[in-house]
Chain A
């Protein structure tokens, strides 16, 4: 891993995007890294496009501004691809993780990715419906991102997904989210 990895998340209000960025930060912190997680601040509206960011680094993080050249881009809702250029500012070796039921080939074509850029897809909304019972893709996408990037390991992630629920949620919801995370890790497709 190079010194600092920058991640940009694209999601819609209500999908748990900011929570996902926070859980990832916790998992990377558990792995001994310095971390940042922050959303693009603005009015919060369910369904509206939003961005969130992570910085994960082996050295102390001093920079305080949005990520403009992300090594990793995570798309929580593939319909955003129609209206937003999610590839903006990405380097030639960028990694994309997209929640979609479409094939990696279709998405790669749609995004016009370079051959050097990696693409991973996961049908997180379907998996979330099957596990959690609601189309909340964040836990599943975190699993997929972990596999795609190697930024942390599955067990650390599972521990922090569990930890993020605290004492407020039922055992059933926590178990379902852990299952969604595991399935995201196992079922992510590269193409």
Chain B
């Protein structure tokens, strides 16, 4: 049986991880954000088609603290952040752990463009460096970072369009095989304006409702964060959840109760933007780790 060396050899990575977490918390304190904690075990996760929650004694382990944090926004907390564990069933690979650490922050009276600027600031503060090396390539962290729309990324890196790929059913494959590996090389990249159908909780763009005001951050080909201008229309949100739930049913996936308290609170939520950032992944990039296993104390398999 394995001894304690696999654990002991991570001591440097875990020390650096701890220092990064400290800098992240300092960043948000200085920006006037309140650190909050919300329950890990919840009765109704957001019904998203492709995200599977792990059942827990009739309820579920959270896949994200999103719904509880938006209820706090609706209750009048204008700037909040949380560092917490999230669980997603069946997600395991060199960049995935079924139980992982998420950083989410929400800001009232802001949109996704404001969050892009703030994400640049936050990652720079966490890195405490002007450039890093990841997988043999240098990533320059000086701002502004690259910004490219999903539409333009398909035109640049594939021989089809985002719309045609969605219709043909190979949008995700092209994203993984052709586009993601090209993003965030040399400097970080914000990929923005996702097709409306890929954005269950995001606001549609006023001047182009075929896309949602959503972005993802990439560094060295690795997806680090997902953000959007929040949808605050409860009627539209319920319709989107029903569509996602129907998709889950079509794919024989477990159904979730409708998150009624969240939908009720949405009517009182101010205009806001929010972001979910995979902290293990950000640590991976900052430490030049090959696998997510190198930056956590225990993987599931080691328990």
Asked if A and B bind, the verdict is: no
- B residues at A contact (CB < 8 Å): none
Give residues in A with beta carbon < 8 Å to B. none
